[in-house]
Each structure stands twice: as C-alpha cells, then as structure tokens.
Amino acid sequence: MEPGDDFVAARRVLQAARSLVALTGAGISAESGIPTFRDAQTGLWSQFDAMALASEPGFRARPERAWDWYAERRAGVQRTEPNAAHRALAAFEQRHPGRLRIVTQNVDDLHQRAGSRDVLRLHGDILRVRWLDPCPLQPACDTDAAAAGRPPRCARCGNLLRPDVVWFGEVLPAAALAAAEAAVARCDALLVVGTSGSVWPAAGLAGLARRAGAQVLIVNRAASEIDSEATQILRGAAAALLPALLAPI
C-alpha cells in the first residue's frame, strides 16, 4: 500500500527539520509491554490507588507496600526491550548528531537502551533511588550504603530510600523542565509520540512549540488532549510509523 499524503507530508517535515524535538509518553513504552498509568481499562491507576503508591504521604503511611510495588515495576522494565519506535529515534539521532532532542515523560530506560544519548527525563528514573528526606549529615550519606530492607534504611541517619520518580504533588526537576522548554522553544518541529496530553506541565510543551512557530506532529493510537495544538496527526502504532517516518531518504 502506498503511503498517503499525510504520511508523506509528515515525513517531509521531520526530515527537513534542522532542530527536532521528540516528546514521548507512556504509549511508546506500552508497545514494549510496559503498562501505562492512565488508560481507563488497563492503566495501573485503574487497578491501584495512585495516592497510596505514588505520593509522599502514601509512601510514608505504608512504605513497605509502596516499595514492593515499585520493585515489581522495576522488574517489569528490566524484562522489556526497546521497540522499533525507540530504535528509530536512536538511529535518527546517530545519523544526524545535534538535530534531535528527546524529552520523555517515561521513567523507564528504553530510549537509552535503544542507543539514544540526548534524553531529558521529566518524571525521573524508576531504576534509580534517592533519600526520602534530605540527609542531615555532612558529608551526605551515600544511597549505596543503605542497609537491606523494604525499603532500605540508612544505618547512619535512619533515612529511607524511595524511587527517584516524580510523585503526585511534587514538582518536575527544574533543570530538566527548563532544558525541555528551551529545546521546544527553538525547534523547527515537535514530534509528540504516545502521550495522552493530560499530564502537565509536559502537556504544555506542544502549545509552546506552536507559539514559537514550530510544526507539531502527533503520532498516537487515539485522540489526545493536545490534538488541537497539532499541525498534523497520524493515527497508529509508534513502532509501525516512526521507522518509516524517520528512515533515511
């Protein structure tokens, strides 16, 4: 089947962009088998209490339960592999150094394992940990020194480890958000892949790109809350569309 006019036009925009930003969400990782959080039928928050597992008060109330839940999520990430969409982005980045910046809402490492180097993480890294509270000692305690436990606890200061992800009620890492906004504000094209567009401030990046004069191309299986910001929308699986959109001409 020959590509349609919309596909050809989208490919032309991406290939011509001197500065391209890819904003990726849960949908791209779902195609590798990692459950999304927000899908109404299959998302994790349709099965679990988000505030009990992904907020500071919930973690403090029952740290063992939350720690075990994240341990299962980490194991799931480590069992999965990057899919064709992750690999297509990495291959484009390697062919065109300096032209592509990836901004991801995902807390997995699939972009990195596919070979992408220039990845901004807005919501943290589920495979990393940090202290629940600021360490009161100088020098600060090393997280590697935490004693075994669920969650592990520091033998020196008593601090608990927590996942290095952004929970409900927390702000995004300031440096990562500022870098993402700066990249979007100066890009020629923003490629939005697999996001519902319901999580802010990441969802605001599409509007920022449009106001700065960039083309906004959305690749998604279903409608999103930021479709109105798009200059073009392609419906379908990222693993099917991105390799063709980003392949060498």
Q: Which domains does the chain have, with CATH numbers?
A: 1-34+82-123+171-249 (3.40.50.1220), 39-79+127-165 (3.30.1600.10)
Rounded-to-integer distance, Cα 36 and Cα 27, Å = 7
Three-state DSSP class for residue 4: coil
Three-state DSSP class for residue 171: coil
Per-residue model confidence as pLDDT tens for the chain (249 residues):
346 789 999 999 999 999 999 999 999 999 999 987 655 444 454 556 778 888 999 999 999 999 999 999 999 999 999 999 999 999 999 999 999 999 999 999 999 999 999 899 999 999 999 999 999 999 999 998 888 899 999 999 999 999 999 999 999 999 999 999 999 999 999 999 999 998 999 999 999 999 999 999 999 999 999 999 999 999 999 999 999 999 997
Burial per residue of 213-239, b for 16 or more beta-carbon CB atoms within 10 angstroms, e otherwise: ebbbbbbbeeebebeebbbebbeebbb
**Global pTM?**
0.91
* Catalytic choice (86, 96, 111, 123): 123
**96 is a catalytic site residue:** no
